[in-house]
Amino acid sequence: MFELRSLESRRDILAGEPVIRGTRIAAHHIAELLRQGATPQEISEDLDITVDQINAVAVFDQTTPKRGRPLLR
């Protein structure tokens, strides 16, 4: 089972953008890769992170909107 503690947000890392703990890999970047069709295994191999961390990002992305301006509809 993955944990959302796999993510952290610190002001000194990417201006507070949520990242995978211990890295500078933005959670929303991983989520975008998943939306574009990359598999968790591909992302894991390319970025040297675990599938559990990627699953935590997927849950985080579904429950937390990206900061910034709202999308126009």
Task: Give CA angle at 35 (32, 37), nearest 5°.
Answer: 115
14 Ramachandran zone, left/alpha/beta (phi>0; psi -120 to 50): left
Give me the pLDDT at residue 58, please: 93
Strands (E), the chain: 7-8, 19-20
Query: Domains of the chain by range and CATH?
Result: 4-63 (1.10.10.10)
Provide the β-strand partners of residue 8.
19
Q: DSSP secondary-structure letter at 7? A: E
Q: What is the pTM of this model?
A: 0.80
pLDDT in tens, the chain (73 residues): 556 688 999 999 999 999 999 999 999 999 999 999 999 999 999 999 999 999 999 999 988 866 666 656 6
Structure tokens at 29: 């970047």
